[in-house]
């Protein structure tokens, strides 16, 4: 039976967005506009169509910029002198978040969003962590595509802290492995939560090696890996360096010359004030929406992984998200 043209067969699809830009794929998001061919349908047929649902969401429109927040001039980072060349220009005082889109959230708001997703929307915690970890891995592949890696092996070190941020790192590592990178995990303080234990097992059974210690000799890390994923501390962490072993890890990360990708909050930074004297990631992947500290992010690329957020959550918290091209789950701001 030949399919009638409920759709016209077409294998055209969105091309992958290149880092730093996003193009809208033709045809996708065309819900608001009548696609070609529909004009042929007589208007009288509209009555038979499913009535528009109340509150059917239009595309999120850019809103007026929120009241300008005081933007402290970023403190010079001690790691500057060691930054490897070619990372990209970092104009002093540049903020990588246009005010009208994706305004940063306070710690309390970030927690409120997560609470709403878990309690009202009944997302499962493992489900959310899987979504975020997958999105983080996608961001890593956009920031560091396989052919662009300087080392012969596509090695990536994923440093995981003891709480949720670390669990997201584990899922990210697993997806990187699926994407044919060679992740290695350092996960010194494992969460006793059975939920997170399973993430560990999944990684182990994907043949991802776990380091038993992190070399303090930074050059060893610089030589072995193309990049480091910082999944040590997230928005829920208290300000400052935290307890061991996080403090020692962060001290090592600060000295790295290879790029760092931080998940949600650069570890050691306060989620709102940012961090002076902390690590300087090249890439930041904000989960759901950027946190306040993202204003002080001076690295090369800032991704947002928020595609999964229901429209009503976006509206309620005035998240003003960017457009995601095609079927992408992350977008570079």
Partner 1 sequence: MPGPRALLGLGLLVAAAAARAGGRCPSLGRGRGWGWGWGWGRGRACCRPRRAMHGPSAGPQGLRFLGQEEAQAIDQELFTEYKFSVDQLMELAGLSCATAIAKAYPPGSFTTSRPTVLVVCGPGNNGGDGLVCARHLKMFGYEPTVYYPKRPSKPLFEGLTTQCQKMDIPFLPEFPAEAALIDELYGLVVDAIFGFSFTGAVREPFGSILSTLERITVPIASIDIPSGWDVEKGKADGLQPDMLISLTAPKKAAMHFAGRYHFLGGRFVPPALQKKYALNLPPYPETDCVLQLSKA
Residue of 84, 216, 219, 327 interacting with partner 1 (CB under 8 A): 327
In angstroms, how far is CA 148 from the centroid of its own chain?
A: 20
Cβ at position 154, least distance to partner 1 in Å: 5
* Residue in 34, 121, 178 with CA at minimum distance from that of residue 312: 121
Closer residue to partner 1, CB minimum distance, 154 or 278: 154
**Is-contact 159 258, C-beta < 8 A?**
no
Q: What is the rounded distance in angstroms from the CA atom of residue 115 to the CA atom of residue 40?
A: 47
Determine if 311 is a binding residue for partner 1 (CB under 8 A): yes
In angstroms, how far is CA 206 from the centroid of its own chain?
A: 23
Site for partner 1 in 32-71 (CB under 8 A): 34-38, 41, 45, 48-50, 53, 55-57
Determine if 26 is a binding residue for partner 1 (CB under 8 A): yes
Site for partner 1 in 181-200 (CB under 8 A): 197-198
3 state SS of 142: helix
Site for partner 1 in 99-158 (CB under 8 A): 120-124, 126-127, 130-131, 134, 137-138, 141, 145-147, 149, 151-154
In angstroms, how far is CA 83 from the centroid of its own chain?
A: 23
Q: What is the rounded distance in angstroms from the CA atom of residue 2 to the CA atom of residue 124?
A: 41
Cβ at position 13, least distance to partner 1 in Å: 4
Determine if 318 is a binding residue for partner 1 (CB under 8 A): no
Q: Which two tokens stand for residue 81?
A: 């002198």
Site string for partner 1, 216-245 (x = CB under 8 A): ------------------------------
Closer residue to partner 1, CB minimum distance, 9 or 70: 9
Q: What is the rounded distance in angstroms from the CA atom of residue 258 to the CA atom of residue 45?
A: 61
């Amino acid at each position: 039976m030949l399919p009638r043209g409920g759709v016209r067969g077409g294998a055209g699809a969105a091309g992958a967005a290149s880092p730093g830009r996003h193009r809208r794929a033709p045809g996708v998001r065309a819900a608001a506009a009548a696609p070609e061919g529909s004009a042929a349908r007589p208007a009288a047929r509209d009555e038979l169509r499913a009535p528009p649902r109340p509150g059917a969401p239009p595309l999120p429109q850019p809103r007026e910029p929120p009241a300008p927040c005081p933007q402290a001039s970023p403190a010079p980072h001690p790691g500057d002198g060691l930054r490897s060349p070619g990372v990209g220009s970092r104009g002093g005082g540049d903020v990588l978040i246009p005010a009208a889109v994706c305004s940063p959230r306070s710690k309390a708001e970030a927690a409120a969003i997560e609470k709403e997703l878990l309690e009202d929307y009944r997302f499962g915690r493992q489900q959310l962590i899987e979504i975020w970890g997958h999105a983080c891995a996608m961001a890593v592949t956009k920031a560091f595509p396989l052919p662009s890696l300087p080392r012969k092996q596509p090695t990536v070190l994923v440093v995981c802290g003891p709480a949720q941020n670390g669990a997201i790192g584990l899922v990210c590592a697993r997806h990187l492995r699926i994407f044919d990178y060679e992740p290695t995990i350092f996960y010194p303080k494992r969460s006793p939560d059975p939920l997170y234990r399973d993430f560990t097992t999944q990684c182990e059974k994907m043949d991802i090696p776990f380091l038993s210690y992190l070399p303090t000799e930074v050059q060893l890390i610089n030589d072995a890996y193309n990049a480091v994923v910082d999944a040590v501390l997230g928005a829920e962490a208290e300000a400052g360096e935290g307890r061991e072993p996080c403090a020692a890890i962060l001290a090592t990360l600060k000295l790295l010359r290879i790029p760092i990708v931080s998940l949600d909050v650069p570890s050691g930074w306060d989620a709102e004030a940012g961090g002076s004297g902390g690590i300087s990631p090249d890439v930041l992947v904000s989960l759901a929406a950027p946190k306040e500290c993202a204003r002080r992010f001076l690295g090369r690329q800032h991704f947002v992984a928020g595609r999964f957020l229901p429209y009503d959550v976006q509206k309620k918290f005035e998240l003003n998200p960017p457009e995601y091209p095609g079927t992408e789950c992350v977008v570079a701001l």
